[in-house]
Amino acid sequence: MIMALCQAAMALDADSVATRHHSKLDSMQYLDNVVVYGRKPYAEVIPAQVLSGKNLEGLNSHSVADAIRYFSGVQIKDYGGVGGIKTVDIRSMGTNHMGVFYDGIQLGNAQNGQIDLGKFSLDNIEEISLYNGQKSDIFQPARDFGSAGTIYLRTRKPKFEPGKRDNFNFTMRTGSFGLANPSLRWGHKLNRSMSMTLNAEYTYATGQYHFRYRKKFSDGTLAWDTTAVRKNGDVQAWRVEGALFGVMPDGRWNAKFYYYDSERGIPGAIVNNVWKNSQRQWDRNFFTQGSWQKKMSERYETQFNAKYARDFMHYVNPDTTLMLIDNKFWQDEVYLSSANKFTIIRDWDVNLSVDYKWNYLNSTLANFSYPTRHTGLAALATAYTIMQFKAQASILYTMVNDQHESRNAGQTVAHHSQWLHRFTPAAFISYAPWIEHDLNFRAFYKRIFRMPTFNDLYYTDIGNVTLRPEYVDQYDIGVRYNILPDRGFFAGFKMSADAYYNYVTDKIIAVPKGTGQYRWMMMNIGKVKIRGIDVSARTSVRPMQDVRVDLNLTYTYQRAQDYSKPDDYGDGGTYKGQIAYIPWNSGSAVVHAAWRDVVELNYSFIYVGERYHTSSNIPANHEQPWYTHDISANYSFNWGKARIKLTGEVNNLLNQYYDVIQNYPMPGRNFKFILKIDI
């Protein structure tokens, strides 16, 4: 544009120049067509599903697990109540195939491989991203390449207005179930290149709520229909975390610590007319981690990550009718990583990452094996862009060595397993056929595996040290179409659709040991074929001045069938059956309306279709569909230097009684009130 103006100025004759102070020209000036060449901002090969900013804040969600329910292709296993365990499963591949990353470094649990997302509050979360396959960024640690799907949790970083060095945020939640949930966040600017945050939160709830419970016999007749109160679902938890953020020439760094301490009741399943359980669980989770990244030259960038984590769990089941259980577990993890990105030419990058991880598990269990695991990972990845075509490929090398001990009569004998070496590839491509239209086609293939957990291998009388890894082959094709926003009524539209096929082999499952049903062993006999479609759409409109309405829709269809041999379980009824708790149809809708920055209204809807609680798809195992409607309203105003926000929520508006997991009833209609103060 500047060059065009210069050419126009040079084209003026001398008389025009002499009269340059006149208010207008004597005649219209015509310019030749000007073509401006530029590059589109980088678009990910496989885009993520993202919740951030007001979209994340507007959801009626307390924990990360509650928010992730609104992503397509995701199933949440929720065992009920404020303190109930919540785990996530993506595209029916199993919880253990999901990697969860906190500020770029993976959360680990070598004991059972499951991350309880109910422990992570949204108060300190700025963005949640979900990737199928892996993140579309080759400049990452090798561990990031090692999962079938990944969730990235990014915590809040302090942002300061000019002349301001401190930010304070106080949040108080109260409502149903005796909830009392205060939190405090402080951000401080140390100097021009360093800042810090400190966040503390306390959660208390009785966890008691009314529920309706119905039981039918196999012939369909009603056994009972009653209303009761869910008990022993109380929770008391502390969370404290702090972080330092720094910038330097062509680089940045951060360091953080996290501590979580909780005691909770485990209400248990309602079976055999038992309405109350007395199990208790104590958790103490601590980790500290740091990351350092710097661009050394135009062609070389490097990154280092490190982490130490220690987790403690104490579980008590005082029910002596079967067996008194009082077990304690301690986990330790050390993690080191180095990633190095090289730019070969302008549109061709190569990354080499090397990671090391050490895990150790201790327990008070009798005849425990005290396992230690050494894991080495090396990933070689490349990304290439030519015009509207993007391609990425990677190969991950994984080396695992386990050691365990036998302790008898005061003597300790060490046992070394065989070394495991595996290479697993992945390839991603995307193509945008037209520059003037934001239409993008994509596809990927990835083969990955997950190691058996310490519980799978070494849990007393159940573990099986001969277990093999569990493999997944993933295939995906998809399309994305965006219409850019304009300044009128219509404020943009985004649509994304994917069709996928996953094949899980050597699936690790529990099978009866011997002729009885009271002793079990873990075996590699499972096979699952998963076919599915994920669709999401988002649009925004401006029906009147200062009013904006956002609509987000998701839909998932999945056919996840158990292809294990009919005689593997001793029950042929599971062959080709839809696997447990996977619905054929599910979806969500979120509507957010805002008037300026003062009033906000939010509505969310979640639907989960019919499913079965085992792979034996018979009427006795059928689970009815469930759905929930949630609404909330916010009002914000200034009071002196403070910004105050008041929120009222009604969750499960229609008071539907339902189970996510069989015999674990969920709460009916409940309320929440929130006060937020920003200074």
pLDDT tier at 330, thresholds 50, 70, 90: very high
- Please give the structure tokens belonging to residue 290: 């740091």
Extract the runs of DSSP E, i.e. beta strands, from 434-572.
Answer: 438-450, 470-483, 490-512, 520-544, 547-562
Query: If we measure between CA atoms, which residue out of 666, 562, 534, 596 comes closest to residue 78?
Result: 666
Tens-digit pLDDT profile for residues 184-229:
999 999 999 999 999 999 999 998 888 887 776 667 777 777 888 8
Angle, alpha carbons 18-20-24 (nearest 5°):
125
Tens-digit pLDDT profile for residues 332-373:
999 999 999 999 998 999 999 999 999 999 999 888 889 999
pLDDT for 489:
82
Report the 10 Å Cβ neighbour count for 670. Answer: 19
- Please give the structure tokens belonging to residue 560: 């996840």
Furthest CA-CA distance within the chain: 109
CATH numeric code, 49-678: 2.40.170.20
Q: Which residue has the higher pLDDT, 513 or 418?
A: 418
Burial of 306: CB neighbours in 10 Å, binned 0-12, 13-18, 19+: middle
Among 43-47, 65-69, 261-265, 275-279, the range with the most confident prediction by mean pLDDT is 261-265
- Please give the structure tokens belonging to residue 522: 């873990």
Tens-digit pLDDT profile for residues 417-441:
768 999 999 999 999 998 878 899 9
191-215 burial: b if 16+ Cβ within 10 Å, else e: eeeebbbebbbebbbbbbbebebee
CA distance 72 to 51: 12
DSSP helix/strand/coil, 152: strand
CA distance 34 to 50: 37
569-583 burial: b if 16+ Cβ within 10 Å, else e: beeeebbebbbbbbb
pLDDT for 338:
97
Distances (CA, A) of 425 to 350, 375, 508, 628: 15, 18, 22, 40
pLDDT for 5:
38
Q: Is the pLDDT of residue 562 over 80?
A: yes
pLDDT for 281:
92
Look up the pTM and report it.
0.87
Residue pair 533/499 in contact by the 8 Å Cβ criterion: yes
Tens-digit pLDDT profile for residues 482-507:
987 777 788 889 999 999 999 999 98
Q: In the chain, what percentage of residues exceed pLDDT 70?
A: 87
Q: Is the pLDDT of residue 274 over 80?
A: no
Which residues lie closer than 8 Å to 228 by C-beta, 6 or more apart?
210, 211, 213, 275
pLDDT tier at 43, thresholds 50, 70, 90: low
Strands 251-266 and 279-297 come out as antiparallel
Q: What are phi and psi of 604, to 5 degrees?
A: -135, 145
Residue pair 672/651 in contact by the 8 Å Cβ criterion: yes
Report the 10 Å Cβ neighbour count for 221. Answer: 7
Q: Is the pLDDT of residue 33 over 90?
A: no
CA distance 24 to 28: 10
Determine which helix (DSSP H) or strand (DSSP E) holds 612, and give its type and residue range: strand 611-612
pLDDT tier at 83, thresholds 50, 70, 90: low
Residue pair 640/631 in contact by the 8 Å Cβ criterion: no
Pick the range with the lowest mean pLDDT from 56-65, 393-402, 434-443, 621-630.
56-65
pLDDT for 319:
76
pLDDT for 567:
57
Angle, alpha carbons 180-184-187 (nearest 5°):
165
Q: Whole-number mean pLDDT of the chain?
A: 85
CA distance 437 to 388: 11
Residue-range domain boundaries for the chain: 49-678
Q: Is the pLDDT of residue 566 over 50?
A: yes
Mean pLDDT to the nearest integer, 137-153? 93
Pick the range with the lowest mean pLDDT from 43-52, 97-106, 543-552, 610-619.
43-52
Q: Is the pLDDT of residue 541 over 60?
A: yes
pLDDT for 572:
52
Determine which helix (DSSP H) or strand (DSSP E) holds 273, and give its type and residue range: none
Residue pair 246/194 in contact by the 8 Å Cβ criterion: yes
Q: Which residue has the higher pLDDT, 1 or 131?
A: 131
pLDDT for 202:
95
pLDDT for 81:
66
pLDDT for 616:
85
Q: Is the pLDDT of residue 626 over 50?
A: yes
Query: If we measure between CA atoms, which residue out of 393, 394, 507 comes closest to residue 449?
Result: 507
Q: Is the pLDDT of residue 409 over 80?
A: no
Q: Is the pLDDT of residue 101 over 90?
A: yes
pLDDT tier at 637, thresholds 50, 70, 90: very high
CA distance 552 to 165: 37
CA distance 347 to 410: 62
Residue pair 439/456 in contact by the 8 Å Cβ criterion: no
Q: Is the pLDDT of residue 38 over 60?
A: no
CA distance 675 to 646: 5
